Structure 1
Amino acid sequence: MNAPKWVTSAVPAVFVVLWSSAFVAAVFGTGAAPPLLLTFARFGVAGVLLTGIALVSRSPWPRGRMLLHVAVVGLLMQAVQFGSFYTAIGQGLPGGVVALVQGFNPVLIALMAGGVLGERISRRQWLGFGVGAVGVGLAVVGELSVSVSAVLLCFVGLLGLSIGTIYQKRFTPTTDVRSSTAVHFLVSAPVVGLLSTLLEDQRVTAWGPFGAALAWIVLINSVGTFLMLNWMLRKQAASRVGTLFFLTPSCTAVLGWLINGQTLNPLVITGLALGGVGVILAVRR
Structure 2
Amino acid sequence: MTERDDLRTAPPEAEASPSPAPTGTGAPAWVSATTPAVFVLLWSSAFIAAVIGTDAAPPLLLTFSRFAVAGLLLTLVALVVKSPWPKGKPLLHVVVTGLLMQAVQFGAFYTAIGAGLPGGVVALIQGFNPVLIALMAGFVVGERITRQQWLGFAVGGSGVALAVAGALDFSTGAIVLSFVGLLGLSVGTVYQKRFTQGVDVVSGTALHFLASAPVMLVLTLALEDPEVTDWGAFGGSLAWIVLINSVGTFLLLNFMLKKQAASRVGTLFFLTPAVTALLAWLVIGQTLNPPAIAGLVLGGAGVLLAARK
- TM-score category of the 2 structures, normalised to the smaller one: over 0.9
Cα distance per residue 1:168-203 (max 9 Å; x no partner): 011101100000000000010000110000000010
Superposition pairs of residues 137-156 of structure 1, within 5 angstroms = 137-156=161-180
The within-5 A match list for 1:25-64 is: 25-64=49-88
2:262 to 212, 226, 238: 238
Post-superposition offset of 1:261: 1.3
How many aligned residue pairs are there? Answer: 285
The Cα offsets for residues 87-124 of structure 1, whole Å up to 9 and x where unpaired, read as 00000000000000000000000001111111100000
Pick one of 90, 98, 117 that aligns with 1:66: 90
Q: Is the 8 A contact 1:32 1:209 kept in 2?
A: yes
Gaps of 5+ in 1: none
**Matches for 1:103-182 after TM superposition, within 5 Å:** 103-182=127-206
TM-score (norm 1): 0.99
Which consecutive segments of 4 or more residues in structure 1 shift more than 4 A? Answer: none
Cα distance in 1 for residues equivalent to 2:97 and 2:198 = 13
Q: Distance in 2 between matches of 1:255 and 1:94?
A: 12
Which secondary structure state, in structure 2, belongs to the residue aligned with residue 130 of structure 1?
Answer: helix
Report what 1:212 is aligned to.
Answer: 236
- Which one of the candidate residues 215, 226, 233 is aligned to 1:191? 215
Pick from 109, 112, 120 the counterpart of residue 85 of structure 1: 109
| Structure 2: stretches of 5+ with no match in the other structure | 1-24
Shift of 1:52: 0.1
DSSP-derived class of the 2:148 partner: helix
Displacement of 1:250 in angstroms is 0.2
Q: Percent identical across equivalent pairs?
A: 72
TM-score by length of 2: 0.92
Query: What is the deviation of 1:262?
Result: 1.5
Counterpart code for 1:2:
G
Between 1:138-147 and 1:217-226, the stretch displaced more is 138-147
